[in-house]
A = this chain, B = another copy of it.
Amino acid sequence: MSSLGWVGIISIVTAGLTIAIGSIAPAIGEGLALARALGALAQQPDEANTITRTLFVGLAMVESTAIYCFVVSMILIFANPFWNYFVNQAGG
């Protein structure tokens, strides 16, 4: 198989695994924070505004690590410089 084929295959595998592995921790981290937020709401209903605001800012920060992985995954599928190089080679 040519280099082009190998680069394609590896890009597919890596793109999939990157987002799959990379979504494990954010989902669990967000679940923990969300669970605790609901407990905090039940415990101190009067602070619902502060709690909810802090929760969503924090969730966005945790989500950012999932988004890093999603970005790398999309780059590997749609804007892969190694793939482009070899396609140019093959077409040259």
A32-B32, A65-B66, A77-B81 known; 10 new pairs, CB 8 Å cut-off, are A10-B12, A11-B12, A15-B16, A16-B73, A19-B22, A21-B21, A28-B32, A29-B32, A41-B47, A41-B54
User: From residue A33, how far is it (CB to closest CB) to chain B in Å?
Assistant: 4
Which residues in B have their C-beta under 8 angstroms from that of A17?
14, 16-18, 20-21
When distances are taken between beta carbons in the complex, the residues of chain B under 8 Å from A77 are 72, 75, 81
Interface of A is mostly: helix
Chain A 48-84, CB-CB to B under 8 Å as 1, else 0, gives 1011101111110111111011101101111011110
Contacts of A22 in B (CB 8 A): 19-20, 23-24
